Structure 1
């Protein structure tokens, strides 16, 4: 009888440790990317209306993958000014998907990501204010702790 319970315990432990077909536990995303894409993961652009008819300036924001799964490089342009920043997407146990939408003001962009329900989660806003670039955190997110 003791042998039976030992076998049952081993079988139960092995079945609880079973991994999904992807080779990782469900909801466990690798912290690094095997292949970093060279093209932008998300982008937004709009022309800058200006009295200067010679230049075709723009306001643009692009997010690029990095070797770290939840870290993106932001490249921001306003006229001739080019700035870089980082974007850290929270790990909710799903592959991150960055999205960008037009902001409420002219020359503004809302940077966000898709949540578990495929909804857009606002994260940061990039805008031009009085001729200067401003980057503002709109919301903060954290993974819920299991009890």
Structure 2
């Protein structure tokens, strides 16, 4: 169970202490809230909108109905449209699909890393050569 101090903080952030908080084992409870508070809800390098889309994609990939519901609501609060959520989920599914292919085919990781670096270099060169909109 989270400490009384942490319960008060959670209630201030979320308007209540969600029932799932009680599922956290005592040694990790306050720390677990700190991760949510500091990384997911706090000011970081990513905007809240971006974090909501990343989290929704991850939730869909791991097929967690709890996380999908929470992060969909979070994305809606950030003004993310249904079309944008669908795209984020589709991008995530592409990553999962190709990860399955790569692992199943046992593609050589060193060769993959080399090819990826070459592709990135080529794309960067193409972007540099493209006429500017300015």
TM-score range, shorter chain: under 0.3
Richer in strand (by share): 1
Higher relative contact order (CA 8 A, sep 6+): 2
TM-score, normalised on structure 1? Answer: 0.21
TM-score, normalised on structure 2? Answer: 0.22
Q: Name the larger-Rg structure.
A: 1
